[in-house]
Chain A
Amino acid sequence: MAKELLRMEGITKIYPNGFMANKNITFSVMENEIHALIGENGAGKTTLMKILFGIEECTEGKIYINGEETHISNPLDAIAKGVGMVHQHFMLVPNLTVAENIVLGMEPGPGPVFDKKKAIAMTREVMEKYQLEVDPTMLVRDISVGQKQKVELLKALIRGVKVLILDEPTAVLTPQETRELFVQLKNLKSQGYGIIFISHKLNEVMELCDRCTVLRHGRVSGRGNISELDPAKLSKMMVEREVDLNIEKDKAKAQDVILHIEKINYIDNYGKRVLKDLTFGVRAGEVVGIAGVEGNGQNEMSEIISGILKCTSGKIVFNGVEIQDKSIKEIRHLGLSHISEDRIKYGIANTLSVRDNIASIYLSSGEFNKGPFLNVRKLNKFVDDCIKEFEIACSGGQDKIRYLSGGNIQKVIVARELSGKSNFVIANQPTRGIDVGTTDLIRRLLVKTTRESNRGVLLISSDLTELLEVSDRLLVMKDGEIVAQFTDLEGVTEEELGEYMLGVKRMSQEEMGDLF
């Protein structure tokens, strides 16, 4: 009878601003098991793991370790109780050696002195035990990504944890390194460990894991033994339909091609080929939706188009001009607007007023300039119009933006990007984390701008309802390529979309048709 190492029961987490991240989640991990935790960004798995690892406190619920109820107050406590985390963004010190990184916080040695030799010996011992080999004398900054991950694993193992949480471990690994990792994880499993494997990648989950739990909108939407599931069932659990928000829209009258992407390749700093000969186009007057599990190249694509990143090879023609080497400013002047995916990091200047935030992209366009001076009256009127038209809840342009709610901040961004003279908008996760009312408004605005202002819109979203409601044409992206296109969205189901998104099915070139 397999022992239950960990059990989280009835976990609910409500943040001070009212957002419910976890609702009544029950989740357990057994000995000798690799348990997959699946769900989209925002589904609640990060929060759940933060609670388990002691970084957050749950509002309600209980945690049992080895059958005993416990309370985990901080990461150190979690480790002491046998739960270790391998973070997605490595927590390593670059100019220290592998051994030093591993023993940090529990350094061997008499009194205050640090015994380097003993540290190396301890490290070698652990490495042998778990067959995770890295040279302990090398500096962390000189080792490969796969090796860094081994170091992270060893950090947890050397502290005697029994449950390992791995957060998107294969996101930065090459296929070869992923193979190696799986071998190591299976080895650990056979030694009695319980492993929580957080991932988006369905094929990996199917290959590696024993059980899985699927989260959606903070709730458990399904669970089961992998042996009893198939990709179709899994995708059904992952992509459930939400509330229907019916947006009435006329059929799109798509016209000239505004954006033409041809064979874009992008290799990131880790050597991963994120975009593979990506080719498609967007026309004026239509909304093209990009469906796909996050991490399949959508963000890189949107940053390459807007000029933030440079592609490794390929051509982008925008409004008749080749833009792959142009600056962000030039591309904006050619008619591009961009609603970026992380609004706090990239979308606003947190300490400034609403007015300054709206004005930011118009400063060099000449519309509001009188020589070096700003035409303040014209600008203020523009800002007031934006506030009225987009229903931004503030008392005027001089309000500091950081006091607005998340939804209103997003409205400021949308107002800014949609009110200018651009003829093309990239909207990357425009309604993530936003209240229902604002979400509805933004979706209607995106449709409206194509019908009334003849813009082209590229909508990247992890919300399938949104994609199905708003898009005129829907492309599915997986591993940096287009794997499906739907030109008639009537009758397309989430399950079908899910299968393409998760790599279960793939359209041929003929089925997809012309991607422009």
Chain B
Amino acid sequence: MLDFIVDFLSAVIRISTPIIFVAICSTISSQAGLLNMAGESMMLASSLTGVIFSALFQNVWLGILCGMLMSIIITLILCFASFVMKVDLYLMSISMNMALGGGVIFVMWVLTGTKANTAGAINSLALGNLDIPIIKDIPIIGEIISGQNLFTYMALIMTVLVWFLLFRTKLGLRMRAVGQNPDAAESVGVNVKVIYTIAFMIAAAVGSFGGMYLSMGYQNFFSKGITASRGFVGMAAATIANAQPIGAMLMSFIFGLAYSTTNYLQIYIHDSYLLMSVPFVLATVFYLIMSAYRSRSEERLLKRNRKKLLELNKENLHGQNS
């Protein structure tokens, strides 16, 4: 029984990792005021590129670097199209997702001749796991926490770094200002478009790791459909958590839990397809609930204020009349 729990929780952490990356990256852009619909693009671009270049240089870190750069380049194109050429950001994001969805398969075909995966043709590398010296010996918890993939630890560290960026740096302060009131930021000399672009670039850098984990973490190949729309689950996690990095990470774990549970349940319940939809159903339901809660609380605040003011004024009215 205990073994089962350990395995299960380990799996949860494993499965949550890519979602955490995308969720964190989406918090950055959300704080700057823009939803990140291009999470899939960021992941796909880096996923394939990382594989290609890690094979080319036979060095996994160079591969990661190239993957990150590719993600950033794709995002810069997106920024150019939206902020300079004035294409609607969400339209361009969705088009980019479509384009890269097809594009990675095309590139894979050009390089390997197949449309399925790169396993046979490209000899790329994986990052591997890490056993943390003292922790690994702690019973139960040690087995869960230690021995995870390096990417997983990077995800946790990045969460903290992103939190620090947003709430303890000048750039983060400006991003948040731009996200809430771009005019106010402009009035003190902050260039809104530059901030948007920087936010997206950092988001791309973070989100790229999500894609690379999938193709360079445990396994060392890229395959069709490897991201399975995790880009959107991550974005949903960020939005549900109100663009707070720590909350987004926790929400990602909840989604990871959902994914894990459906995986395990597949042994018992025959209908795997319906199960696979559960994380997404959850994402939608949570998102709707949080939106409802937030808009209601704004309404309640407004109503309360108005009531207070009316009472105050009624007193004044009576005071004047008598």
Which residues in A have some Cβ–Cβ distance to B below 8 Å?
75-76, 79, 85, 87, 90-96, 100-101, 104-107, 109, 112-114, 116, 155, 265, 267, 269-271, 273, 312
Chain B residues with CB below 8 A from A312, complex form: 310, 313
Given A269-B306, A273-B313, verify A92-B181 contact (CB < 8 Å). Answer: yes
Q: B171 touching A112 by the CB < 8 A rule?
A: yes
Q: B188 touching A155 by the CB < 8 A rule?
A: yes
Chain A residues with CB below 8 A from B172, complex form: 114
Q: Complex Cα distance A359/B174, Å?
A: 46
Given A112-B170, A269-B306, verify A104-B185 contact (CB < 8 Å). Answer: yes
Chain A residues with CB below 8 A from B188, complex form: 76, 91, 104-106, 155
Q: B183 touching A91 by the CB < 8 A rule?
A: yes
> Is B294 an interface position by the 8 A CB rule?
no
Chain B residues with CB below 8 A from A87, complex form: 187
Q: B184 touching A93 by the CB < 8 A rule?
A: yes
Q: What's the least CB distance linking B285 to chain A, in Å?
A: 26
Q: What's the least CB distance linking B319 to chain A, in Å?
A: 12
Q: Complex Cα distance A90/B190, Å?
A: 16
Q: Complex Cα distance A271/B307, Å?
A: 10
Q: A104 touching B177 by the CB < 8 A rule?
A: yes
> Is B312 an interface position by the 8 A CB rule?
yes
Q: A109 touching B183 by the CB < 8 A rule?
A: no
Given A113-B170, A114-B169, A267-B313, verify A93-B187 contact (CB < 8 Å). Answer: no
Beyond the given pairs A101-B177, A105-B190, A269-B305, 9 more chain A to chain B contacts, judged by CB atoms under 8 angstroms and listed by A's residue number, are: A87-B187, A91-B188, A100-B173, A104-B184, A112-B169, A114-B173, A269-B309, A273-B313, A273-B316
Chain B residues with CB below 8 A from A107, complex form: 170, 173
Q: Which of B171, B185, B188, B317 has the most A CB atoms < 10 Å from its CB? A: B188
Q: B180 touching A271 by the CB < 8 A rule?
A: no
Q: Complex Cα distance A93/B174, Å?
A: 10
Q: Complex Cα distance A95/B294, Å?
A: 15
> Is B14 an interface position by the 8 A CB rule?
no
Q: B189 touching A94 by the CB < 8 A rule?
A: no
Chain B residues with CB below 8 A from A105, complex form: 174, 185, 188-190
Q: B310 touching A91 by the CB < 8 A rule?
A: no
Q: A93 touching B169 by the CB < 8 A rule?
A: no
Residue of B nearest to A95 (CB): B180
Given A104-B188, A112-B171, verify A96-B177 contact (CB < 8 Å). Answer: yes
In the complex, per-residue mask of B296-322: 1 if CB is within 8 Å of any chain A CB, else 0: 000000100110011011001100000
Q: What's the least CB distance linking A421 to chain B, in Å?
A: 36
> Is B230 an interface position by the 8 A CB rule?
no
Q: Which of A100, A107, A114, A265 has the most B CB atoms < 10 Å from its CB? A: A114
Q: What's the least CB distance linking B191 to chain A, in Å?
A: 10
Q: A104 touching B180 by the CB < 8 A rule?
A: no
Chain B residues with CB below 8 A from A104, complex form: 173-174, 177, 184-185, 188, 190
- Can you list 21 pairs linking A and B with CB atoms under 8 Å apart? A75-B187, A92-B184, A93-B181, A93-B185, A95-B176, A96-B177, A96-B180, A101-B177, A105-B174, A105-B190, A107-B173, A112-B171, A113-B169, A113-B170, A114-B168, A114-B172, A265-B317, A267-B310, A269-B302, A269-B306, A270-B309
Q: A114 touching B170 by the CB < 8 A rule?
A: yes
The 9 closest A-B pairs by CB, nearest first: A105-B188, A271-B309, A76-B189, A91-B184, A107-B170, A91-B187, A93-B177, A93-B180, A112-B169
Chain B residues with CB below 8 A from A75, complex form: 186-187, 189
Q: What's the least CB distance linking B13 to chain A, in Å?
A: 31
